[in-house]
Homo-oligomer: A and B are copies of this chain.
Amino acid sequence: MNQRRRNVLPLNKVKVDDFFWNKYTRLVTDQIIPYQWEALNDCVEDAEPSHCIKNFEIAAGLREGEFEGAVFQDTDLAKWLEAVAYSLAYEPDAELEKRADAMIDLIGKAQQPDGYLDTYFIIKEPDKKFCNLREGHELYTAGHFMEAAVAYYQVTGKEKFLHIMQRVADLICEVFHQEAFQQAVPGHEEVEIGLIRLYQVTGERRYLEMAKDFVDRRGTEPNYLIHESEKESWIDIFKDVNPFFPQYSQCHKPVRMQDTAEGHAVRAVYLYCAMADLAYEYQDEGLLHACEKLYDNIIKKRMYLTGGIGSSGAYERFTTDYDLPNDTNYAESCASIGLALFCRRMLAITGEEKYAETMECALMNTVTAGIALDGKSFFYVNPLEVWPDNCMDHTSMAHVKPVRQKWFGCACCPPNIARTLASLGEYVYATQENDLWVNLFVGGEAEASFGGIPVKAEVETRFPFEGKVKLALTAEKEAKGTIRLRIPSYASEISLSCDGKTVTAEAGSYAKIPFEGTKKEITLSFVMPPHFVYANPKVRADAGKVAVKRGPLVYCMEQADNGENLSNLFVDTTVEPVVTYESGLLGGTDVIRLSGKRMDAEAWSSDALYAEKRVPLKETELTLVPYCYWGNRKTGEMQTWMKFLQ
């Protein structure tokens, strides 16, 4: 393998100021972090209370009461702190930092003398720590706190949180090498990522080794998770509502033998993140190969056009190849976040453009769809087709919500989206020796260095609504390096120039632009007309259907523009889609118009459910908006895959 990874540029070196992303990133500080703070403190009206901070106060002995919330409720605070850390990186806020410090103090007080930290077990089941790794989520929770602590340390330089989490990590390293836990692995992966990040900042190799042990143990005999419930110490947390099966936690076979993405989608991609990290850290070709196979399986057989993953509502899981139902699926926001994280790692190791493209797809469609344009409500589940009438409680469709929810009992998605938006810069840039990698077209500034000399990069673009990117580089003094600028596979008529001179650029790769001197101006322009997309004929749900993309964005029909019963519409694919930018719509967006036909429902004159005479079609125009913006107007139907006239 013998590779050097492309490392992320620290967030305080990146400033996002972007035509597309400002809509979201500005929400993080203006809306989401304050709103989530209210939520953590149970102050949001009409939203399910989180009880998260109260749990910490109880665990710390500062308040009387019972634990409330999900077994993984603590992670609400972890993800909030991680988002706060990132937001402080590019917008210092003394007040917010003080509030975060206070939370860190509280966490420290809740921590047990042996380093243990999980308020569910501290308050509710003190004798049952680590007795249900399948569903106890202690290690998952620890992982999120580790990620938050690392982020907070990197941004603020403060070590307290890091030390708290090192004590947790030390305890984990101790417990999970004891005889009884020799084969133990977390039911929900995440601590592996946390331990690796902790290793990366502390240099404590035992954290990396613990992560490697967890990954190596998974799916090997004796299979800890399968047999855990036979132990005397077992505690049933979810009351066996959902019986356990090995694929659910990716423990059906050793990770290096896994070549299909299985089970709970979030768990799966978090595992793959850790696998990719370890493949790099140990220069382990076999593990990298497993990652490539799993990526391939997702991309070629199990991913929605929107970068969503998880076809089954029950168990929020991968199912089988080409099974991609559009209206009953799960496609959790967190799963797409995990997919982006996995791709970022694979991109860092391999430099292959395809990973950037998948990462971009997940971020710009599903993750952004996960949050309302006002930052106040969130999707957990991201269907590609919605008919609000049948999204009823107490039915098979109960998991699908046609309207974003304020805050959830199981609140993983909102804070996860927040931390992702707040750390967007980490997805945009990467550095490898004297190479600066530009992975996403996001306006703003970044500070890299070539041979120790600071180099400022300024990006201007109206992407994804225009295929033009201006990148201005200024070095403090004479410097030498390389810009690796992504040329997406959806680009055509590509024109790349540096200081007016043409540079070779090929779609689906990274262009290599040498930098010498103190200043360079790079201009990339390409065409990305809206176009029709078809699914592999093996995808039964999409046979006879067409979707529309422009660049990375998937478009969809909404009832607001097309009237009700979107299923009655047919696209005429012989007419080219027409794109118009509408500044007044959804905060400014491209709108795509198609020609097509509509079933003339009026012609169905009777009240019969079935009849021999079919209704005629009449000419109509179809209006599409980016999928990420759906559900921001009046509640109504939405459809991404549309029937077309054969």
A residues apposed to B, CB below 8 Å: 239, 241-243, 245, 247-248, 299-301, 303, 305, 311-315, 317, 319-323, 325, 328, 387, 389-390, 392-398, 531-541, 543-544, 546-547, 565, 567-568, 570, 573, 597, 599, 601, 604, 607-615, 617, 643, 645-646
Contact = CB atoms under 8 A, between A and B. Distances in A.
Given A314-B394, A536-B609, 11 more contacts: A241-B241, A245-B393, A245-B394, A319-B392, A323-B387, A533-B610, A534-B614, A540-B565, A544-B567, A570-B646, A646-B646
Nearest to A606: B536
Max chain B C-beta neighbours (<10 A), residue from A300, A394, A597: A394
A645 B610 CA distance: 19
A543 B646 contact: no
B543 A612 contact: no
Given A614-B534, A646-B646, A539 B609 contact: yes
Shortest beta-carbon contacts, A-B, top 10? A312-B395, A540-B567, A543-B567, A537-B601, A323-B390, A534-B614, A313-B396, A314-B396, A312-B396, A537-B599
A609 B301 contact: yes
A609 to B, nearest CB: 5
A534 B248 contact: no
B395 A314 contact: yes
Contacts of A604: 536-537
Given A534-B615, A597-B646, A390 B319 contact: yes
B315 A610 contact: no
Nearest to A385: B540
A532 B248 CA distance: 43
Contacts of A323: 387, 389-390
Contacts of A243: 394
Q: Report copies per complex.
A: 2
B611 A543 contact: no
Given A387-B540, A597-B646, A646-B645, A535 B568 contact: no
Max chain B C-beta neighbours (<10 A), residue from A393, A398, A544, A609: A609
Contact of A538 (B299, B320, B601, B612): B601
B567 A610 contact: no
A543 B568 contact: yes
Contact of A610 (B321, B536, B568): B536
Nearest to A543: B567
Given A531-B612, A532-B614, A643 B394 contact: no
B573 A614 contact: yes
Max chain B C-beta neighbours (<10 A), residue from A239, A532, A544: A544
Contact of A612 (B532, B601, B611): B532
A238 B267 CA distance: 29
B392 A534 contact: no
Given A320-B392, A393-B245, A394-B314, A565 B544 contact: no
A92 to B, nearest CB: 43
B245 A546 contact: no
Give the dominant DSSP class at A's interface.
loop
A242 to B, nearest CB: 8
A538 B568 CA distance: 8
16 contacts: A245-B393, A314-B398, A328-B396, A533-B611, A534-B613, A534-B614, A537-B599, A537-B615, A538-B565, A540-B565, A540-B567, A543-B567, A543-B599, A544-B643, A547-B610, A570-B646
Contacts of A393: 245
Contacts of A537: 565, 568, 599, 601, 604, 615
A486 to B, nearest CB: 20
Max chain B C-beta neighbours (<10 A), residue from A321, A323, A537, A539: A537
A600 B614 CA distance: 27
Contacts of A568: 537, 543
Contacts of A311: 390, 395
Contact of A300 (B397, B609, B617): B609
A543 B643 contact: yes
A96 to B, nearest CB: 40
Contacts of A531: 612
A111 to B, nearest CB: 35
B248 A535 contact: no
A387 B532 CA distance: 27
A91 B467 CA distance: 81
A268 to B, nearest CB: 14
Contacts of A570: 544, 646
A325 to B, nearest CB: 8
Contacts of A597: 646
A631 B550 CA distance: 43
A646 B596 CA distance: 12
Max chain B C-beta neighbours (<10 A), residue from A305, A325, A531, A543: A543
Contacts of A608: 300, 536
Contact of A534 (B325, B536, B538, B612): B612
A381 B338 CA distance: 36
A565 B539 CA distance: 9
Contacts of A245: 393-394
A643 B531 CA distance: 24
A537 to B, nearest CB: 4
Given A319-B392, A537-B601, A544-B570, A610 B248 contact: no
Contacts of A546: 614
A321 to B, nearest CB: 8
A537 B245 CA distance: 41
B395 A317 contact: yes
A611 B646 CA distance: 17
A39 to B, nearest CB: 25
